[in-house]
Chain A
Amino acid sequence: MALTDRVPKNSGWRLFLQTVVGRAYPRIIGLLRELSWFFFEVFLPVLSVAAYVFIYRAIGAPDVYIGFVVMGGAMTAFWLNILWSMSSQMYWEKQTGNLALYIMAPNSLMAILLGMAFGGLFSTGLRALVITLVGTLLFDVSFEVSNYLLLFAVFMLTMVALYGLGMMTASLFLLLNREAWHYANLAQEPVYLASGFYFPIKSLDFWIAAGASFIPLTLGMDAMRQLSFSGGTELGFLPVQTELAILAGLCVVFLIGARWLLGYMERLAVREGRLTESRR
């Protein structure tokens, strides 16, 4: 085909799909290309897991706690991914000028964020898997899965809801400038605590746990723990079925919310001239 021939272009769902794949690509390729992630994103979480494992062993906590901690350590990868590669990512995209190009292109911003989510889910899933494997081997964790299908369903619903939340907060970050970094930082540690990454949330005050449940990882992790370890059910916050239903509700709310908020924020940013980093 000659360079001057008109270029056929897809639109509609094909364009949507192409955009998702296009944006997921750098995430996935980046994982393979820059192996330094292995050190920072596997070694460091394993280190915090180790700290909790030693404490639990020292105070003679039941073995199931060790499994809880390893799973929590693996799940932190997803929270970090939401904070640093979904929400505040929008700030970096704005700085490099990518955001303007995304908006100017005929795709929807929703497709871009979905691409980011899929890419992030894939690469983070790999990290979480490695952390789980390393933790399991290192600390001798024994899993006893009561229902694989249910476990898979809980995990997937948790991820959909979590990345839905990530897409929603990403649209809020559309309007932020340098302060974006602080907000992401602010959300990191408190959520580790409130969502019970290193202990069952049943040990928290009911209302704190209920409040933290709007972060899908809280209930998702609780349900996964109940399904993965013997004696896990006794430490569960709510029955698995209830948690599953709430997660499904969160999925709907966050995805619809993300779509609406994205449209609103884009229009607002165009009106106020905040799609590009102002020069002074």
Chain B
Amino acid sequence: MLDAYPTITLLSLLTYPALHLGKKDYMDLAIHTEKLARVYKLRGSKKEEAKELVALRDINLDVRRGELFGLLGPNGAGKTTLIKILTTLLAPSSGVARVAGYDVAAEPEKVRPRINMVSGGESSGYGLLTVRENLWMFAQFYGIPSKLANERIKQLLEIVRMSDRMNTKSSDLSTGLRQKMNIVRGFLTDPEVLFLDEPTLGLDVEASMDVRNFVRGWMEGNRDRTLLLTTHYMVEADELCDRVAIINGGQVLACDTPANLKRQLQRDVIYRMEVSPLNGLQPEALEALGGVRKVSHEPKDGAAVLELILAEDDALGSVVNTLTGKDIHILNLQKREPSLEDVFVNLVGHSMKEAESGADGSSS
């Protein structure tokens, strides 16, 4: 006791700055990135000078252990690129990324035993193996004893209601069942940090719900496990995630709990308005009106849907006047609570759908 006292004081004195600024913080965080960037070299036609595409720029993220963290963004936002870097499959062009306390570029061998990843629509494994055999094989690659692996496979398949498919060849599975198998593969190895890239891509409502329920249940039962998922479904991010980072064009625009993100819009009023086709009226014209903050527009067969974010209720009057002045009829009007979609519109200036059609047009 007598010996220990001065030692501790000395040690903590010596290490305090280091602990405070460095190592300890990283170890507490499941994911930590600093000024992370990735540039792809595009190999175009010959002779042409090589073009570059900035997929991620200046990403600073901290995810605590035990968090269910969501990356929300449209196609081409850089979500998959970020996941690839965090899972040691892609080197950062600059900046640092740490997962489970280790630098992904410098110490991938320390990171790999602690992580796993599942992507939506992946076709991993071998079609001639059964569901059980495929899962068993991947468990072997993580050094899980065979007997324990089989036990866990049974338990996990039961939870996703696939016990009856244990001995089905994986080539005979439907898309939804296949994806459930992939998800089970991710949880099977009990990773400290699990990455799910669009886990519900292409699934029907019921299968998506199964997957979400499973994820939620898992996080409740494993408080020290961290999960990062990407999605471009707003509802999924909203319902599931403790915190969400909204990402667009390779940049993080906002990062907070869904409730806090929406609270920024609390003082705004949001209307969803279904109108007859716009007859050439630009949504920007509406944004120019006093009290109108953001307008997003989405054509819908024979009609159009306008999402209006207004600074105050009164602004609705001038919107209605402008519309009727252009001979546009209002078919339906709803006032509603702010959603993450509105947060996105507010940050980016247009809806995620619009962002995606724009991104497609410019990059293909």
Contacts and interface: CB of A to CB of B under 8 A. Distances in A.
A15 B88 CA distance: 19
Interface in A241-280: 270-273, 275-276, 280
Contact of A106 (B112, B119, B137, B156): B112
B148 A1 contact: yes
B116 A26 contact: no
A25 interface: yes
B142 A100 contact: no
Given A7-B148, A11-B113, A26 B128 contact: yes
Given A7-B189, A97-B123, A104 B89 contact: yes
Contacts, number: 116
B125 A98 contact: yes
Contacts of B119: 97
Contact of B112 (A8, A23, A98, A105): A105
B89 A18 contact: no
Interface stretch (A28-36, A202-210, A224-232): A28-36
Interface string A1-43: 1011011111100110011011101100110011000000000
Contact of A9 (B91, B113, B122): B113
B90 interface: yes
B152 interface: yes
Nearest to A14: B143
A33 B128 contact: yes
A107 interface: yes
B123 A6 contact: no
Interface in B113-129: 113, 115-117, 119, 122-126, 128-129
Contacts of A52: none
A29 B87 contact: no
Interface string B91-128: 10000000000000000010011011101001111101
- Kindly state the interface size class of chain A when it binds its partner: 35 or more
Nearest to B147: A1
B273 to A, nearest CB: 36
Interface string A84-108: 0000000000001110111111110
Given A106-B112, A106-B142, A273 B90 contact: yes
B141 interface: yes
B190 interface: yes
B122 A23 contact: no
A7 B190 contact: yes
Given A29-B128, A101-B138, A1 B89 contact: no
A154 to B, nearest CB: 33
B116 A104 contact: yes
B114 to A, nearest CB: 8
Contact of A270 (B89, B138, B146): B89
A210 B364 CA distance: 51
Given A1-B148, A97-B119, A273-B40, 13 more contacts: A7-B144, A9-B142, A11-B113, A11-B143, A22-B136, A23-B141, A25-B137, A29-B129, A97-B122, A101-B138, A101-B141, A105-B112, A107-B142
Interface of B: 40-41, 84, 87-91, 109, 112-113, 115-117, 119, 122-126, 128-129, 133, 136-146, 148, 151-152, 155-156, 159, 189-190, 221-222, 364
6 contacts: A3-B221, A9-B113, A10-B143, A29-B128, A97-B119, A270-B89
Q: What 4 pairs across the A-B complex have the smallest Cβ distances?
A: A22-B140, A10-B143, A15-B143, A106-B113
